[in-house]
């Protein structure tokens, strides 16, 4: 098979890029190793920047998000049994975020792709990338027990953190940065009304907690757990009990509990690979960088990659202008690192670290006291949370 751009990975990054290129008249083929049902079964992030929504509009898939997504102008931080509000609108100069689940967003992207007749090969696993430093690279993939090949002009590695594309870059050409945290988040999705219309991030001596939501009838809650914990250690009742212990009493009293529709433990880690390009291979989204979920930066960091990359490819195909492609890695990484910094800061601020000394604990408290006593500190939090410009 021949195409202009071969995109590896049918998560939000690959799908959104495929749509943006398709609308610009650039032929592309997308390979996804799992079935569509499997991809849509994954529960992930839910807080989006307006920049992401604009890309969805541009890709012709933003209608339902505009209709059903909830605009949030603030969130809460709970500590010592009380709630303090971060007014995003006021402190970011009019900003807000959109609450809309990644599952819904991925469904919208698949449906748009279908309407436009774009090629998505499901259960097609890329196994090797060849000729990346030539003008005619190709992707070798396995489907239905057969080995096939896509010949193309560019390869996009949008195959997530565990994908093959990043690993196709020779070790000497790649620099990796990593931080693992000594805990994970146990997440529960339940068909219950959310305890609060706005998110609540909870700092508590027993560990961090988060009250989030997907809609007025669908809630998403998390608690910090040790890495040694397993899902079997956490029957629904135990989860709700522990969550209530970490919430301020009045919030705990109005929490509506119910059976978990989904329950999983995700370790917290940060990772960045530099550069995000090798020859004709360009990495985007989780394939190149991941963040702990604390500041809701994951999907939003992917969005800025896709913005820069779509513009770069469009300029190349329209005018043979290579400047966007040449500058892609540096531009994308400049924003990626700011998102890394922000999620690191929020993670350090709100979690219990097993080895934290009494001194460091007091610093954490001082940081929070400072935050809520300073308009400028709140401004720094708010402008990062709603998303830095790109």
Among 5, 21, 33, 47, binds ligand APR (CB under 6 A): 33
Beta strand spans in 112-174 (E): 119-122, 125-130, 138-143, 146-151, 154-157
In the region spanning residues 72 to 111, those forming contacts with ligand PHB, defined by CB under 6 A, are none
Q: Which is nearer to ligand PHB, 29 or 186 (CB)?
A: 186
The Cα–Cα gap between 276 and 257 comes to 43
Q: Which helix (H) or strand (E) holds 185?
A: strand 175-190
| Partner touching 274 among ligand APR, ligand PHB, none, CB below 5 to 8 Å by kind | none
Among 49, 108, 153, 159, binds ligand APR (CB under 6 A): 159
Binding marks (x or -) toward ligand PHB, 9..48, rule CB under 6 A? ------------------------------------xxx-
Comparing CA positions, the residue from 130, 168, 177 lying closest to residue 277 is 168
Q: How far is the CB of 16 from ligand APR (least distance, A)?
A: 8
Q: Is 212 near ligand PHB (CB under 6 A)?
A: yes
The Cα–Cα gap between 19 and 112 comes to 8
Q: Is 187 near ligand APR (CB under 6 A)?
A: no
Q: Is 351 near ligand PHB (CB under 6 A)?
A: no
Q: Is 113 near ligand APR (CB under 6 A)?
A: no
In the region spanning residues 41 to 70, those forming contacts with ligand PHB, defined by CB under 6 A, are 45-47
Which pair of structure tokens corresponds to residue 189? 């999705």
Among the listed ranges 61-69, 157-165, 234-242, 292-300, the one in contact with ligand PHB (CB under 6 A) is: 292-300
| Partner touching 77 among ligand PHB, ligand APR, none, CB below 5 to 8 Å by kind | none
Comparing CA positions, the residue from 50, 90, 86 lying closest to residue 371 is 86
Q: Locate tokens 């012709």: which residue?
A: 60
Contact 325, 74 (CB under 8 A): no
Comparing CA positions, the residue from 306, 299, 300 lying closest to residue 284 is 306
Comparing CA positions, the residue from 375, 166, 207 lying closest to residue 289 is 166
Q: How far is the CB of 284 from ligand APR (least distance, A)?
A: 7
Binding marks (x or -) toward ligand PHB, 216..245, rule CB under 6 A? ----x-------------------------
Q: Locate tokens 């190709």: which residue?
A: 138
Q: Which is nearer to ligand PHB, 208 or 234 (CB)?
A: 208
Task: Please give the DSSP secondary-structure letter assigned to residue 166.
Answer: G
Phi/psi region, residue 321 (left: phi>0; alpha: psi -120 to 50; beta: rest), is beta
Q: How far is the CB of 254 from ligand PHB (least distance, A)?
A: 19
Q: Is 285 near ligand APR (CB under 6 A)?
A: yes
Q: Three-state secondary structure along 43-94?
A: CCCCEECHHHHHHHHHCCCCHHHHHHCEEECEEEEEECCEEEEEEHHHHCCC
| Partner touching 159 among ligand PHB, ligand APR, none, CB below 5 to 8 Å by kind | ligand APR
Contact 354, 182 (CB under 8 A): yes
In the region spanning residues 120 to 149, those forming contacts with ligand APR, defined by CB under 6 A, are 125-126
Q: Which is nearer to ligand PHB, 294 or 304 (CB)?
A: 294
Q: Is 295 near ligand APR (CB under 6 A)?
A: no
Q: How far is the CB of 83 from ligand APR (least distance, A)?
A: 26
The Cα–Cα gap between 189 and 217 comes to 11
| Partner touching 296 among ligand PHB, ligand APR, none, CB below 5 to 8 Å by kind | ligand PHB
Q: Is 160 near ligand APR (CB under 6 A)?
A: yes
| Partner touching 16 among ligand PHB, ligand APR, none, CB below 5 to 8 Å by kind | none
Total number of residues that touch ligand APR (CB under 6 A) = 27
The Cα–Cα gap between 174 and 252 comes to 47
The Cα–Cα gap between 379 and 383 comes to 6
The Cα–Cα gap between 35 and 53 comes to 26
Q: Is 294 near ligand PHB (CB under 6 A)?
A: yes
Residues that bind ligand APR (CB under 6 A): 8-14, 31-34, 39, 44-45, 102, 125-126, 158-160, 163-164, 285-286, 298-299, 302
Residues that bind ligand PHB (CB under 6 A): 45-47, 199, 212, 220, 293-296
């Amino acid at each position: 098979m021949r195409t202009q751009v071969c995109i590896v990975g049918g998560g939000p990054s690959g799908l959104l890029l495929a749509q943006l290129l398709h609308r610009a008249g650039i032929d592309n083929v997308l390979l996804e190793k799992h079935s569509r049902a499997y991809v849509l079964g994954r529960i992930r992030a839910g807080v989006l920047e307006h920049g992401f929504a604009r890309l969805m509009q541009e890709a012709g898939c933003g209608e339902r998000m505009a209709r059903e997504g909830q605009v949030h102008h603030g969130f809460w931080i709970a500590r010592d049994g009380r709630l303090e509000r971060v007014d995003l609108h006021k402190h970011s100069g009019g900003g807000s975020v959109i609450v809309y689940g990644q599952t819904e967003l991925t469904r919208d992207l698949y449906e748009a792709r279908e309407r436009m007749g774009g090629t998505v090969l499901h259960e097609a696993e890329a196994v090797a990338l060849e000729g990346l430093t030539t003008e005619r690279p190709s992707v070798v993939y396995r489907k239905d027990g057969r080995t096939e090949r896509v010949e193309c002009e560019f390869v996009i590695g949008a195959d997530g953190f565990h994908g093959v594309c990043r690993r196709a870059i020779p070790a000497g050409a790649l620099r990796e940065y990593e931080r693992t945290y000594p805990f994970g988040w146990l997440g529960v999705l339940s068909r219950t009304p959310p305890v609060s219309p706005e998110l609540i991030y909870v700092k508590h001596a027993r560990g961090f907690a988060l009250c989030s939501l997907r809609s007025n009838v669908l809630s998403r809650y998390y608690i910090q757990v040790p890495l040694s914990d397993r899902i079997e250690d956490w029957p629904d009742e135990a989860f709700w009990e522990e969550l209530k212990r970490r919430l301020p009493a009045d919030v705990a009293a109005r929490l509506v509990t119910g059976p978990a529709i989904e329950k999983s433990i995700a370790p917290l880690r940060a990772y960045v690979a530099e550069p995000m390009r090798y020859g004709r291979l360009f990495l985007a989204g989780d394939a190149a960088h991941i963040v702990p979920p604390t500041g809701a930066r994951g999907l939003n960091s992917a969005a800025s990659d896709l913005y820069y990359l779509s513009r770069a490819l469009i300029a190349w195909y329209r005018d043979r202008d290579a400047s966007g492609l040449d500058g892609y890695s540096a531009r994308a990484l400049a924003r990626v690192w700011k998102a890394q910094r922000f999620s690191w800061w929020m993670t350090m601020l709100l979690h219990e670290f097993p080895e934290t000394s009494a001194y460091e604990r007091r610093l954490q408290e001082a940081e929070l006291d400072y935050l809520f006593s300073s308009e400028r500190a709140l401004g720094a939090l708010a402008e990062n949370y709603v998303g830095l410009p790109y």
